[in-house]
Amino acid sequence: MTNRTALITGASRGIGLACAQALAAAGTRVILAARDEAKLAAASAAIPGSSWVKIDMSSEESIKQAFAKAGKVDILVNNAAVTKDGLALRMKKDDWDAVLSANLTGAFLAIQQVMHPMMKERWGRIINISSIVGETGNPGQSNYVASKAGLIGLTKSLAQEIASRNITVNAVAPGFVDTDMTAALPEELKQSMLAHIPLKRFGKPEDIAAAVKFLASEEAGYITGAVLNVNGGMYM
C-alpha cells in the first residue's frame, strides 16, 4: 500500500489509532483525524511519517476543512463514533440527533469529500466501522444501533454505486473490544458478555485494525459491499 494515503477518523485512541498504526506499518501514509488536538499530536508523533487534522464529525464545515487540509485520500476509514445511551422511551431528541449526526451523517459527508478524487483516480478504499449491535440490536442504545445499522446500509448502497470505478466500500463490525469506551462498563456485565463469546476473550483494537488493513489492501480488490464480522464468534 505504498504511495497511498489513508485518513482515519477517531484516530487519537482505541480502534482508530490501532488502524493508523497498522496501515502505517504496511507502508501507507496516514492522516489521523479526531477532535482532541493534544491527543492527536501525541498519537501522530509516535507514527513515523504521519500527520493529523482536527475534525468534528458532527459539523459539515469542520469535515470539509479537514479534508481540504488533508489533500488526496486514497483510503478512508470512518471510525469516529459517539454514544449517548438511554432507553428509547426517555431518550431526548438531542441525544438521538447527536449520535446519528456524528456516526452516520458525518461518515456520509466524509465519504462525499473523497468520492470524486477516487473516481478520477479509479482506485479507492472506503471502510466503515460499524458494530455487532448494528446487526443484533441492543437495548438502551437505539440511537447508536440505528447509526451503526445505517452504516451497513450506506456501505452496501455505495458499493453498488461506485464499483465500476474500482472503488470498494466495506464495513467492519467489531464485537466487544477492550477500549477506553468499554473499560467503564461494570465487571459483572463484562463477565456476562465474555460468556457469550466462543473464543473466550474480548477483542483487541489490533484485531479490528488487521481486518481494516486487509480490506484496504490490493489483495481485497474483489471484495465490496461486505460486512466483515470481527467478534470472536459472538454473532454469526
The mean pLDDT of the chain is 96
- Confirm whether 180 is domain-assigned: yes
- Among candidate residues 67, 144, 176, 202, the one labeled active-site is 144
- Confirm whether 82 is domain-assigned: yes
- Residues in Cβ contact with 118 at an 8 Å cutoff, skipping those fewer than 6 apart: 73, 74, 124, 126, 162, 165, 167
Torsion, Cα of 64, 68, 73, 75 (10° steps):
-30
Please give the pLDDT value at position 2: 75
- Confirm whether 88 is domain-assigned: yes
| pLDDT tens, residue by residue, 204-227 | 999 999 999 999 999 999 999 999
Closest C-alpha to 30, from 56, 63, 1: 1
Grid coordinates representing 59 are: 459539523
- Confirm whether 236 is domain-assigned: no
How many other CB atoms sit within 10 Å of the CB of residue 148? 26
Number of domains in the chain: 1
DSSP-based three-state secondary structure for 13:
coil
H/E stretch holding 30: strand 29-34
Grid coordinates representing 9 are: 477518523
- Confirm whether 231 is domain-assigned: no
- Confirm whether 182 is domain-assigned: yes
Please give the pLDDT value at position 111: 98
For the chain, give the percent of residues with pLDDT over 90.
93
Domain housing 182: 5-226
Q: Is 144 a catalytic residue?
A: yes
Q: Inform me whether the pLDDT recorded for 179 exceeds 90.
A: no
Can you give the pTM of this predicted structure?
A: 0.97
Please give the pLDDT value at position 190: 87
Q: For residue 1, name the pLDDT band (cuts at 50, 70, 90).
A: confident
Q: Inform me whether the pLDDT recorded for 189 exceeds 90.
A: no
Q: Inform me whether the pLDDT recorded for 181 exceeds 90.
A: no
Q: Inform me whether the pLDDT recorded for 44 exceeds 80.
A: yes
CATH number at residue 199: 3.40.50.720
Grid coordinates representing 118 are: 477516487
| pLDDT tens, residue by residue, 100-155 | 999 999 999 999 999 999 999 999 999 999 999 999 999 999 999 999 999 999 99
Average pLDDT estimate for 155-167:
98
